[in-house]
Amino acid sequence: MTYKKIAVVGIPGKWSTEALADALEEKTDFRLVVDMADVTADLTTGTLTAKGVDLTNLDGLVVKKITEVYSPNSLDRLEVLRLAEAAGVRVFSPAVSMLRLIDRLACTVTLRNGGIPMPETQVTENVDVAVKVVKTFGAAVFKPLYSTKARGMTVIDSTQPDAEILDAVTAFKAENPMMYIQRKLSLPGQDLGLVFLGGTYHGAYARVAKNDAWNTTINSGGNYAPFECDPDVVEMARRAQALFNMDFTTVDVALTDQGPIVFEVSAFGGFRGAKEGIGIDAAALYADYILDALS
């Protein structure tokens, strides 16, 4: 038993948050789940407190989830964790690393600059340009810059009447001034999550779409299944996650007719996919990794 004090930043009551807190408590005899809504940052004194606990006195903070739904506020929550880092508290993963992944555009630019294969993507604030992109792509997925599990994503098809395309683009822009647009790919009914801990590959799972759903997310009825990746796919995902210096993450990959591509690198990584798809207890593995890093 080691007596390091490590708090889990997450959503109290959520399975992955509680699983990680359980794993750490078993190994340290200390348990603290922190909801960022309860955190106060004193920028004068450099302290970070939650319900009377000074987080800068802990040995570590591990972030499982920063908020239920991604938004620019998620970036603010990560920024205040930099106070803990400045006080000498190890944050898993580093706050700056997670910051670059919450914003879909920041993640994409980093991946593209790193030479990682991705779907064709255009970003614009101009409605007329966006309409032309739809017609060029044939079918396009409009994605909010801050979202998970396909929330807020809209598919617009060039076969729709021009007035409908314009209306759909205008409606999306009303909620998303910067429009992030990707060519809709023809996928084999599944995409993949490749699990990395400290840069080491631990396996892959497939997210299998339900019936004719256009995306494979669990929110849309998809399910997890084991998957054996070819070495070149693993290497591509390894290069992608290495651009972000993450302690734990999953890389979302699709196998297309033109070869494997990366959709994104996760800011926090998926415990449930690892457990149900591969049979990996990611919480226990992560807890061991954290304690080893702090020893």
The model carries a pTM of: 0.91
* CATH superfamily to which 121-183 belongs: ATP-grasp fold, A domain (3.30.1490.20)
pLDDT at 213: 56
Structural domain spans, the chain: 6-101, 121-183, 187-289
C-alpha span between 4 and 264 (Å, rounded)? 33
**Class at the top of the CATH hierarchy for domain 6-101:** alpha beta
Q: 68: which strand partners?
A: none
pLDDT at 186: 84
Which range is least confidently modeled, 118-122, 207-211, 243-247, 282-286? 207-211
pLDDT in tens, 220-249: 457 899 999 999 999 999 999 999 999 999
**Residue 48: what are its φ and ψ, rounded to 5°?**
-135, 115
187-289 matches 121-183 in CATH topology: no
Q: Is 187-289 in CATH node 3.30.470.20? A: yes
**Is pLDDT larger for residue 3 or for residue 51?**
51
C-alpha span between 59 and 192 (Å, rounded)? 34
pLDDT band at residue 217, thresholds of 50, 70 and 90? low
pLDDT in tens, 56-83: 999 999 999 999 888 888 999 999 999 9
Helix 95-102 to helix 72-86 angle, to the nearest 10 degrees? 170
